[in-house]
Structure 1
Amino acid sequence: MPAAIVTGATGITGSAIVRHLIKDPSYTKIYSLSRSNAGLDHPKVQHVHLDLQGNSDHMAKDLAGVSAEHIFFCAYLPNDDPGETDRINAAMLSSFLSALTKMGEDKHIKRFVLTCGFKQYGVHLGRVKQPSLESDPLLLDSAGGVSWPPIFYYTQQQILAKAAKAGNWEWVCTLPEDVLGFAKGNFMNEATAIGLYCVVCKASPGSELPFPGNKDNYLTFNTWTSANLHAQFCLWAAKAAGAGNEIFNVTNGDSESFQNLWPKLAERFGCKIPDQMFSNSGFKDYESSTIQLKNTQHPLILHAKNMGLAKDPIATDAPTLRLQIDPEKWAKRSDVNEIWARLRKQYGLDQMAWEKATWDFLTFVLGRDWNCIGSMSKARKLGWTGYADTWDELVDTFERLEEAGILPPLQQLKHDY
């Protein structure tokens, strides 16, 4: 029976993979690798302290006795500089693979599953072709006549493919989008910021829930990825015939929009939808923002000529975020922090959740005006049938955040305000 290694095992995607490996009777041993947090406590799980920023010799010593047929690499370190992000994350993967080779453990690998994401298509840079396909061209160097910032996924995929060829094993790369899930102590989660925004709005005078972004964003369509569904996909991809040496979109399988989700959020948290969601006069007391991204054109420019849009503003205009309420600015307001402080004291909430919440990511997600839909056809054709309802997964994440003391207990919140 195979053993498995999970790096980044205490993050949202990594911990979900560990949970599903525990449930899978075909795995008898799971090595959970992280710098400090031991993660899940289970007889099948052995925690190994590993600093992926260390050199390969040190890693080889820390990994002594660790051997597995399937490896799930979920580790990631962010940096504000795309070049540094590329360097750091490429070095982590390269050193880890080198350590396995020095140990001779690369000979036992059957498949290595690398978690990446929709930055593969440049969704963080602007409008992209829809739906996004795994065969879409990469934003390398001056593709389409534009100088693009480094995307570290590309470097990691090159490193992985080269190592796999040399070691005679296979790799898989997954591309999830806006992952929904929970991991203790990890606040890099869109649902955490949205939940905090909703509970503060609920406790504010009038309990209105204005949509922070723009009208175009409100009406666009997007895909999300459940951490649980992604974990199930990773286990499937580790063994599925024909999945080796391939890149796959991994989304829930439905298409959602804030025009549908926002009223549901208001109902769940006991808030009111404003009569005029996008009336400037309605939110004059909030800080709005218009943020121009550093790149000068949308990634759609790579396809514009074939689509007959070579000179159309939809491809050539500078990508811009537009927000009627900037979450980063909102989270710093004195009145907002007073309400949060009252909620924190009243329900014994985790202050770190507020301080570590990814307000900047929420600013981006709600400020863009482009769709983010990825086709699941490639995986479906190989037999993948997984599906998750995005709203159900969002609610499940909120419930886990409530259990962890990050959000107030819902029924009590609705009763008190």
Structure 2
Amino acid sequence: MHSAIVTGATGITGSAIVHHLVKDSSYDKIYSFSRSNPGYKDNKIEHVTLDLQSSAQDMAKSLEGVSAEYIYFCAYLVPNDPSQLSQVNATLLSNFLEALVLTGATKRIKRFILTCGFKQYGVHIGPGKQPLLEDDPLLEKNAGGVSWPPIFYYGQQRILAEAAQKGSWEWVATLPEDVLGYARGNFMNEATSLGLYCAVSKALPGSELPYIGSKANYFAFNCWTSANLHAKFCLWAAMAPGAGNQIFNVMNGDTESFQNLWPRLAARFGCRIPDPMFPNGGVPDTKGFKNYESSTIRLQNKPPLKVAASALGLSADSVAEDPPTLFLQVDPEKWAKREDVNKAWGTLRDKYNLDQKAWDKATWDFLTMTLGRDWSCVASMSKARKLGWTGYADTWDELEETLQILEKEGVLPLLDQLKRDF
């Protein structure tokens, strides 16, 4: 029988891993680590209250007598000062590892699974070479002759690899993209913001559902990751022969586009698809959709494609030189502050007893990036497939399941009621 530790057990990826560990009969002991008790009700689970921002010595006191063969590290902090992101998250991991050394728990570790993400490839900076591969060049300082902004995953992976080598155990880093899932009280989720946008649009006069982002984004191809699929992958990667000391993309396995997903969202919520969807031609620097405010955001850095430009024969091409632009024909942050939008939300909230925190904490800024960019984000799953990974999830099915959970949890109105009343 096996044992596991899950940090960030109240988050979307962490809670999914806990749920799948519970269902796995080969695990008989699961430690859930978080600052608050998630209230898991299973005899396998023992909760440990742990503040990962504390010192290694303080953490060691909380971890006395706690050890496991497999560690799933899903914790992540966003400091108020963005420039501290790398330092804060590197310290988070290094102090935790040092605490395990102090308690002697590292002697039992077989594999340590670190959840990272697609910022590994700089998708928040601009377009990269497609498809994205695990051995693509890192955006290190001066790579391709450019001084790149820091990406905190790199530091974490180095810290983990060094600790694993010293302790004679193995590590795995996963790279999911735009995770679809649910964790109680955690609204850092694309599905939550999209669901709120659709539900409120249904309640607004005309029930029209204009696309938030750019025309280029509407037709771009992207990948998503189900939190459940990611959890299954992590359990597989913990024991798969040959998977140790490696980085893996973790995608659902399909390639999707909002030209397919958006009409399905409209039909699901009973909204009307506008025609034309892009009345201004979808051209950046033009006005927004009808009476909505648009936004054009010019990013500051050259696109990650610059690193591969020479190998691709694009050294002098503007696509590898010019900082990219985000364009939102309906700026989601401005939309969420509109008087008519807040009145419609208030009506839904009061009528269906919805969670106000979901609205207050919705990640509209995340939609700004994911729907405003004009480049695709497609990754290959070949590396994991060659080692035997066969998992697959349909992105629309996963999105719809997440929306259904949000309805049951009182974040979104029940669909039948919403369609009946509006």
TM-score > 0.5, shorter chain as reference: yes
Identity of aligned residues (%): 69
- 2: CA distance, partners of 1:384 / 1:131: 19
Give the aligned partner of residue 243 of structure 1. 243
Question: Structure 1 residue 286 and structure 2 residue 292: aligned?
Answer: yes
Question: Aligned partners of 2:208 and 2:38: how far apart in 1?
Answer: 41
- The residue that corresponds to 1:139 in the other structure is 139
Q: What is the TM-score when the length of structure 1 is the normalising length?
A: 0.98
Deviation at 1:40, TM superposition (A): 1.9
Match of 1:410 among 406, 415, 418: 415
Name the counterpart of 2:344.
339
> 308, 311, 319: which one pairs with 1:306?
311
CA distance in 2, matches of 1:283, 1:135: 40
Partner secondary structure for residue 28 of structure 1: strand
Q: CA deviation at 1:72?
A: 0.1
Alpha carbons of 1:123 and 1:39: their partners in 2 closer, same or farther (altered >3 Å)?
A: farther
Tell me whether 121-130 or 141-150 shows the greater mean CA deviation: 141-150
- Cα distance in 2 for partners of 1:323, 1:313 equals 22
2:284 is aligned to none
Partner AA of 1:26 in structure 2: S
Alpha-carbon displacement from aligned partner over 1:64-89 (angstroms, at most 9, x marks no partner):
11110000000000136443110111
Write the letter of the residue equivalent to 2:133.
L
Partner of 1:168: 168
Letter in 2 for 1:223: C
Residue 386 of structure 1: aligned partner? 391
TM-score (norm 2): 0.97
Matches within 5 A, 1:11-410: 11-79=11-79, 81-280=81-280, 283-295=289-301, 297-410=302-415
Question: By how many angstroms is 1:308 displaced?
Answer: 1.4
The amino acid across from 2:125 in the alignment is L
**Per the alignment, in what secondary structure is the counterpart of residue 403 of structure 2?**
helix
Please tell me whether the aligned partners of residues 83 and 149 of structure 1 are also in contact (alpha carbons under 8 angstroms). no
Instruction: Output one character per residue of 1:144-182: Cα deviation in whole Å (capped at 9) or x when no partner.
Output: 111111100000000000000000000000000000000
Separation of aligned partners in 2, 1:219 and 1:240: 37
Q: String of CA shifts for 1:360-391, please: whole Å, max 9, x gaps.
A: 00111110011001100000000000000000
Whole-angstrom CA distance in 2 between matches of 1:110 and 1:169? 5
- Once the two structures are TM-superposed, the CA of residue 136 in structure 1 deviates from its matched residue by 0.3
SS in 1 for 2:348: helix
What amino acid does structure 2 have at the position aligned with 1:286? Y
Deviation larger for 29-38 or 388-397: 29-38
Gap regions ≥5 residues in structure 2? 281-286
Alpha-carbon RMSD = 1.0
Question: What per-residue deviation string (whole Å, max 9, x for no partner) do you get for residues 229-269 of structure 1?
Answer: 00000000000000000000000000000000000000000
The gaps in structure 1 that reach 5 residues or longer are none
- The runs of 4+ residues in structure 1 deviating greater than 4 Å are none
Q: Secondary structure at the match of 2:4?
A: strand
Query: 2: distance between equivalents of 1:5 and 1:147?
Result: 37
- Offset of 1:143 from its aligned partner? 1.1
**Residues 150-159 or 29-38, more deviating:** 29-38
Equivalent position amino acid for 2:259 in 1 = Q
Decide whether the 8 Å contact of 2:288 with 2:330 is kept in 1.
no
Indicate conservation of the 8 Å contact 2:133/2:380, yes or no.
yes
Q: Would you say the 8 A contact 1:252–1:389 is kept in 2?
A: yes
Which amino acid in the other structure matches residue 382 of structure 1?
A: L
- The alignment partner of 1:254 has SS state of coil
Q: Write the letter of the residue equivalent to 1:11.
A: G
CA distance in 1, matches of 2:264, 2:348: 22
Aligned length: 416
